[in-house]
Structure formats: structure tokens, C-alpha cells
Amino acid sequence: MTTEQWGVRIPTKKGEDMRQALLREGILDLTLKVLHDGDNLVFPVFEEREGISRYVFEDQPGRIALPRHELVGGIAIMQENDPAGADSILASRPSLHTVLFPESEISGEYRTREYTVLAGTATTLTEVNEHGHRYKVDLANAYFSARLSTERQRIAEKTGNNECVLDMFTGVGPFAIALASRAAFIVAADLNPRAVLLLIENIRKNKAGNILPVLADARRLRRILPWQFDRIIMNLPLAGTDFLPDAFPLIRPGGTIHFYSLVSREGEHIDRIRELGGIEVTERMVRSYSPGQWHAVYDIKV
């Protein structure tokens, strides 16, 4: 039997990293077999994303599909409030200690949500391993998403040795820590005190001594910080372009801003970015957010 599904095509040598990332994101369709196509693999996934196509996959015989879930370290986050499904996830994945169901949308300034524990240990604390880095996260008290791991890698690969970087909405610090072994110096700021406490712990865990943690509102950074930066990361997608005027004075001429935003059409923020001083702007859709809405990243050369 065969089934048509979305497929992510990737060179075989990068296949295992991609498989792990898709598993964490909860979008790998385990009921279908991976396609081998010359030097490439094609992974079946539940969701459309930029640049992927439909493929015909062979069914994986005897594979019982687990209910859909994302993985964040030892925690699985389910899409449905399904205690029996939670037990089956916990039983099938020895690395898990807890299964959660989100009771609310991501909300508030700190971008957190409330959870019910469906199975396992009653906690929202866990440790995530991502591309050789370790992050302590507390899902109920500070934002963390496994879905951005590929983006963090992409920005890390662009970062040069002598760069000074500002992560304006750092959360528990995954972008800052992913870049720390490459950059010279990183300022990582967030408004949420619990996020900053976890960031400090994560700096210690990853021996990232070139990160300066800052508890501050991004609107005040240009008055607090005496430096200009080579690279700025702005990952607060729901804020639209509100914080861009606070970022532009902090970037040096020739520097790059990576600005994440929720958009409902291609090129939505390009005019505003050019008005503020963006010279070269490229826009990519990172993933779909809801019908008609996309998470986009704008790489802005200033």
C-alpha cells in the first residue's frame, strides 16, 4: 500500500539530524517508510513547509500510529487531551518522564501556557539536548520551542568569530547558547525573570562564558547598552514590527538583523523594514502557524 504525503528531502549525510528534529517537532509521519532517492532521503511529514513537495510513500506495515505529540527533552506535549494515548506514548518512549496537554494558548508577555499532566511525573521542568547543547527548560514558566532548532543551527552557521551578538528576546537562551561557541560576545536579554534564571543556569551548563544575561525590556536596551552589534536576533513573532525601531539603533552599519514575525502574506513587512534602514532584505517562511498565517524570518542587512 502507498500513501501521498508531504516529504522533506535532505542529503543522506544530514538525515539523522533531520530525523531527530522532525521527531522533536512531532511532524514525522511514522506510519510511512522513508524514501531513498540516490544520495537523498525523503522524510514523510504531516505539515507543509516552505520548499517541500508531495511524494508517494510506502506504508510501514504493522506500525501503530501514536497520537501526535511534540518532544521537549523528557516531556511529550500532546495535541489532544487523551490520557490513554498519553500512557501509550510514555510506554513507547523510554526517554520520557512526563506527558502534558496544553490547557491554554501561548499567551501574555512571557509567551507561556498552562498544562495538565496526563501521564508520568508531575512536572513542567526538563532538560533538552539540541545539537550538542543542553538547555534546562520549564514549559509553564518560560517559553521554549523545539521547532526552532533548525533555525538556531542556520543562524549559528552564519555567525563569524569576532561577532558581537544581541539576542533581544532570549527566553532560556537557546539562540544565544547555540551561537556562543562561534561569536566573540553575546548579550542575551529577556523581560521574564524566570527565563533569565534558567538562562543563567544554561550558560553554566554549556560553559558559555561569553554570554551576558540581562533582565530588561527590549524597549530599554538602546538606553542601557553602550555597544552596537554585528548581529541581532529578534524572536517575538506576535509583536509584528513594533520592536524594530528599538533594534535599528543597536546594529552597526553592515550588520544583520534576524527578525521573526507572523505574517499572512508574502512581503508583509518589507516596506516597513526598508523605511527603517534595511538595505538587503530576504524573507523566508519558516513554518505554517495556522491556516493563512506563517512564521516568517526576515534576514535584514543594514
Smallest distance from ligand SAM to CB 235, Å: 4
C-alpha 196/C-alpha 194 separation (Å) is 5
Which residues are CB-contacts of 258 (< 8 A; sequence separation ≥ 6)? 155, 231, 232, 233, 234, 235, 297, 298, 299, 300
Is the separation of the CB atoms in 267 and 285 below 8 Å?
A: no
Residue nearest to ligand SAM (CB): 171
- The whole-angstrom separation of Cα 100 and Cα 76 is 6
Q: Nearest distance from residue 67's CB to ligand SAM, in Å?
A: 25
Nearer to ligand SAM by C-beta: 98 or 235? 235
Nearer to ligand SAM by Cβ, of 55 and 135: the residue is 135
Closer to ligand SAM by Cβ: residue 28 or 72: 72
Cβ at position 276, least distance to ligand SAM in Å? 18
Taking the complex as a whole, the smallest distance from the CB of residue 169 to ligand SAM amounts, in Å, to 3
Instruction: Identify which of residues 110 and 185 has a Cβ nearer to ligand SAM in the complex.
Output: 110
Pick from 117, 114, 144, 112: nearest CA to 24: 144
Q: How far is the CB of 141 from ligand SAM (least distance, A)?
A: 10
For ligand SAM, the closer CB: 5 or 210: 210
Q: Nearest approach, Cβ of 23 to ligand SAM (angstroms)?
A: 19
Q: CB of residue 220 vs ligand SAM: minimum separation in angstroms?
A: 8
E-strand stretches of 144-250: 164-167, 185-190, 211-215, 229-235
Contact 168, 188 (CB under 8 A): no
Q: Cα 251 to chain center, whole Å?
A: 23
Residue number, 29 or 163, with CB nearest to ligand SAM: 163
Exposed e or buried b for every residue in 262-288, given b needs 16+ CB within 10 A? ebeeeebbeeebeebebeebebebbbe
Give contact residues for ligand SAM (rule: CB under 6 A). Answer: 109-111, 143-145, 148, 169-171, 174-175, 189-192, 195, 217-219, 235-236
Residues 6 or more apart whose CB falls under 8 angstroms from that of 178 comprise 130, 131, 133, 152, 153, 155, 156
Cell output for 49: 513547509
Q: Given the complex with ligand SAM, which of 32 and 188 has the nearer CB atom? A: 188
Length of the chain: 302
